Amino acid sequence: MVKYPSGSLAAFRKPVQKKPTLKRSYHHKKGVNFSDRGMTLEQQINESNKYYLSEEIAVVHKKPTPIQIVKVDYPKRSKAVIREAYFRQASTTDYNGVYQGYYLDFEAKETKNKTNFPLKNFHEHQIYHLDECLKQQGICFTIIGFTSLDRYFVTPASFVIQAWKTKNKSSLTLKEIEDHSVEIKSGFHPTLPYIEAVDHFIKDRKRLNGK
């Protein structure tokens, strides 16, 4: 039997390191829930936004991660390559857009926890930004995904901000979230129908404004 070099050498070869698949994002890597066809919360929202855009229901986009670029190479006959860059602190939430004249602004977070949502998941700049947008009468909220339970809640930012600012309060219980949110069911088109919850918030606002 002929021993081909490739065969005989195979045992000594260093295991091929598979090139990592290009990652679209570095967030929400944990907590993948296979009941949602393996999609992270972020992916579900992005899918939903694509659907809302194509159906002309709403225009909502995820903001790119802010990057501080230090060095860029411009190879001949090839596109520019960033060779040195750093992640910067964002100054807003991840998502904003427009729906029927309303400004939407929200942050999405997921947890594997089954009984409560740790408030430290929200960063100060996100809370500050939601607060500022509320002052401008935006429709501001959070989407909290309990991935182990496959449950998704759209919670008004005002409630989250209040809890976040409460001394010695480190988390929201599931009960608190249930009581103050609109629960949405993960589905097909859109994957996560959060605009349903927005409709509730708009109705509430109109009722409060007496029209």
| Closer residue to its own copies (CB): 24 or 165 | 24
Phi and psi dihedrals of 148, rounded to 5? -70, -25
Contact 105, 95 (CB under 8 A): yes
Among 101, 188, 210, 211, binds its own copies (CB under 8 A): 101
| Closer residue to its own copies (CB): 137 or 173 | 137
Tokens of residue 159, six digits: 């409630």
Among 32, 102, 116, 171, binds its own copies (CB under 8 A): 102
One-letter identity of residue 106: F
Among 7, 30, 35, 66, binds its own copies (CB under 8 A): 66
Q: Does residue 204 belong to the site contacting its own copies (CB under 8 A)?
A: no
Q: Which of residues 159-198 bind its own copies (CB under 8 A)?
A: none
**HSE-CB for 180 with a 13 A CA cutoff:** 19
Contact 122, 143 (CB under 8 A): no
Q: Does residue 64 belong to the site contacting its own copies (CB under 8 A)?
A: yes
Among 35, 69, 115, 185, binds its own copies (CB under 8 A): 69
| Closer residue to its own copies (CB): 84 or 204 | 84
| Closer residue to its own copies (CB): 53 or 119 | 53
Distance CA(184)–CA(196), nearest Å, equals: 8
- Work out how close the CB of 122 gets to its own copies at its nearest, in angstroms, rounded to a whole number: 18
| Sign of the dihedral through C-alpha 155, 161, 162, 163 | positive
Binding residues vs its own copies (CB under 8 A): 20, 22-24, 26, 53, 56, 58-59, 61, 63-70, 72, 79-88, 90-92, 96-103, 105, 129, 132-133, 135-138
Q: Which residues are annotated as a binding site?
A: 92, 94, 107, 126
